Copies of this chain bind each other. A is one copy, B any other.
Amino acid sequence: MDSLTISEVAKQAGINLQTIRYYERQGLLAPSSRTEAGYRIFSSESVWRIRFIKRAQGLGFSLKEIKDLLFLRIDAHTTQADIRKRTQAKIADVEQKIRHLQAIHTSLLRMAQDCSGCGPLKNCPILESLDGKEFV
């Protein structure tokens, strides 16, 4: 009752069947065994693992980083501190992305504020900004 076919896993995890095979190729997931005919057999743990992957992706981890996390987890020498360190690196990463987007946001806002929304196009301050006449 704990042995699932690939389509059952896909359905339970809410994921495309092809994606499961893709994760297997990427080394993120493996069937616990195969039938004589070569059919993949998964345990319900695989469903958890896919959910883990999806949550971590949602938090901005790449598949490669997630794979690292999974292997860290399996490694007997890994400590909570290791996992915490990865998480803190990812926090710094996300903070960096936010700062970048905020700089973009500021520039766009300034451009839109400078523009009255009327007047001839050739005097459009937004396009002038993009032309680099006064914008860094």
Contact = CB atoms under 8 A, between A and B. Distances in A.
Interface of A: 48, 51-52, 55-56, 58-60, 69, 73, 78-81, 83-84, 87-88, 90-91, 94-95, 97-98, 101-102, 104-105, 107-109, 111-112, 115-121, 123-124, 126-127, 129-132, 135
A119 B52 CA distance: 21
Contact of A131 (B48, B90, B107): B48
B73 A91 contact: no
Nearest to A93: B108
Count identical subunits in the complex.
2
Q: How would you classify the secondary structure of chain A's contact residues: helix, strand, loop or mixed?
A: helix
A47 to B, nearest CB: 10
B48 A83 contact: no
Contacts of A90: 108
Contact of A105 (B91, B127, B129, B135): B91
A84 B112 contact: yes
Contacts of A69: 127, 130
Q: Which of A69, A97, A117, A130 has the most CB of B within 10 A?
A: A130
B130 A84 contact: no
B121 A80 contact: yes
